[in-house]
């Protein structure tokens, strides 16, 4: 919030005077901010647009909920309306100001692209004479051949991308091949997709509704990953110890979710890329229990084995 407010107030206090030459002022701001003249002009227009949206402006002045990309998105859509009626502008102002106010704890704030679509949809509903080109991103595929090599690129919705990635990863694991080779085998029809056997582990709070979902390797998402079967596990209770050296999948995911990263001081390797280490060695009687397990990356796991390495946080034996 502090960064959003600081950036917003900078542009608010550096708006060109009405009588000033706009091109000259934009050039000055471009030098001052190290931004392109085009980006400066967009930011200026985004802030000026709030004068037509008093309710959104009041919310922005008091809460600083919108970053500059969101303000620019609002302006760019409204600039395509031509000369909208007061009713259309007032409805956009009312709708956006209500939409921007969070309705539940930890609610994910709309992105600039979502705001852009919202303004466009409001305008189309209120005035059917308004026509917009659908700029929403569509699935794209391209190929580039260069000598003896070919480069394939696929662009899809991030949710679909996560599922595709996990299918390729699981296929590679099951058949002990690289992910690139697994993809070739799948696309060539040499292997059947492992879709029915793919498990995607996600984390989210269970005591608050509408919270974002964390997908290891893919970050935070505002919605769940679609799945044929969903199994929920309560991580508020510590799993029981296992008799074997290798921890169960449930224990592994519990420890990964608890640790977040490699437990060595200053290391930020994600937990899902780490190995689980018995703090008291299993051969010396150390249990395969979350209280005796920590995530260590390959490098720090080797260091622990060779010279010893203390875990730096958490209630671990």
Say if residue 315's pLDDT is above 60: no
Say if residue 313's pLDDT is above 50: no
Domain ranges of the chain: 2-126, 140-197, 233-317
Q: What is the pLDDT of residues 14-59, one digit of tens each?
A: 998 888 888 888 898 998 888 898 999 999 999 999 999 999 999 9
pLDDT in the model for residue 228 = 61
At 134, is the pLDDT very low, low, confident or very high (cuts 50, 70, 90)?
A: low
Q: What is the pLDDT of residues 166-192, one digit of tens each?
A: 888 888 888 999 999 999 999 998 887
Query: Please, what's the b/e burial string for 251-262 (b: 16 or more CB within 10 A of its CB; e: otherwise)?
Result: bbbbbbbbbebb
Do residues 126 and 231 touch, judged by C-beta distance below 8 A?
no
Mean pLDDT of 64-81: 92
Higher pLDDT, 294 or 201: 294
Say if residue 288's pLDDT is above 80: yes
Higher pLDDT, 128 or 169: 169
Lowest mean pLDDT among 128-137, 143-152, 252-261: 128-137
Q: What is the pLDDT of residues 213-223, one digit of tens each?
A: 788 877 777 66
- Which of the residue ranges 96-100, 130-134, 245-249, 306-310 has the most confident prediction, judged by mean pLDDT? 96-100
Give the global pTM: 0.46
pLDDT in the model for residue 316 = 43
Say if residue 204's pLDDT is above 60: yes
Mean pLDDT of 280-300: 89
Instruction: Please say whether the dihedral angle defined by the alpha carbons of residues 155, 158, 163 and 165, taken in this order, is positive or negative.
Output: positive
On average, the pLDDT of the chain sits at 84
Mean pLDDT of 59-66: 92
Closest CA to 96 of 137, 143, 58: 58
Residue with tokens 């005077």: 17
Which two structure tokens, joined as six digits, stand for 312?
């730096």
User: Which burial class, exposed, middle or buried, applies to 105 when counting CB atoms under 10 A from its CB (0-12, 13-18, 19+)?
Assistant: exposed
Lowest mean pLDDT among 9-13, 44-48, 96-100, 222-226: 222-226
pLDDT in the model for residue 136 = 58
User: Which burial class, exposed, middle or buried, applies to 123 when counting CB atoms under 10 A from its CB (0-12, 13-18, 19+)?
Assistant: buried
């Amino acid at each position: 919030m502090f960064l959003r407010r600081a950036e917003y107030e900078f542009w608010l206090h550096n708006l060109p005077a009405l009588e000033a030459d706009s091109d000259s002022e934009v050039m000055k701001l471009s030098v001052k901010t190290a931004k392109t003249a085009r980006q400066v002009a967009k930011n200026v227009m985004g802030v000026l647009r709030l004068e037509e949206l008093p309710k959104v402006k009041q919310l922005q002045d008091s809460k600083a909920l919108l970053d500059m990309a969101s303000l620019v998105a609002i302006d760019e859509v409204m600039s395509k309306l031509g000369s909208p009626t007061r009713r259309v502008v007032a409805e956009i102002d009312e709708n956006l100001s209500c939409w921007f106010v969070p309705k539940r704890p930890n609610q994910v704030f709309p992105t600039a692209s979502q705001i852009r679509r919202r303004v466009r949809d409001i305008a189309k509903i209120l005035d059917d004479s308004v026509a917009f080109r659908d700029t929403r991103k569509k699935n794209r595929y391209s190929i580039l051949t260069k000598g003896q090599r070919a480069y394939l690129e696929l662009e899809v919705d991030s949710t679909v991308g996560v599922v595709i990635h996990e299918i390729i990863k699981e296929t590679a694991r099951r058949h002990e091949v690289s992910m690139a080779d697994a993809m070739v085998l799948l696309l060539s029809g040499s292997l059947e997709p492992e879709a029915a056997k793919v498990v995607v582990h996600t984390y989210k709070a269970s005591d608050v509704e509408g919270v974002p979902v964390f997908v290891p390797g893919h970050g935070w998402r505002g919605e769940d990953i679609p799945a044929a079967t969903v199994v929920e596990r309560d991580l508020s209770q510590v799993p029981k110890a296992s008799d074997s050296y290798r921890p169960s999948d449930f224990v592994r995911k519990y420890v990964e979710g608890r640790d977040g990263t490699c437990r060595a001081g200053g290391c930020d390797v994600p937990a899902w890329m780490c190995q689980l280490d018995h703090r008291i060695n299993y051969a010396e009687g150390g249990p395969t229990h979350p209280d005796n397990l920590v995530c260590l990356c390959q490098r720090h796991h080797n260091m622990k084995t060779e010279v010893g390495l203390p875990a730096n946080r958490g209630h671990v034996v």
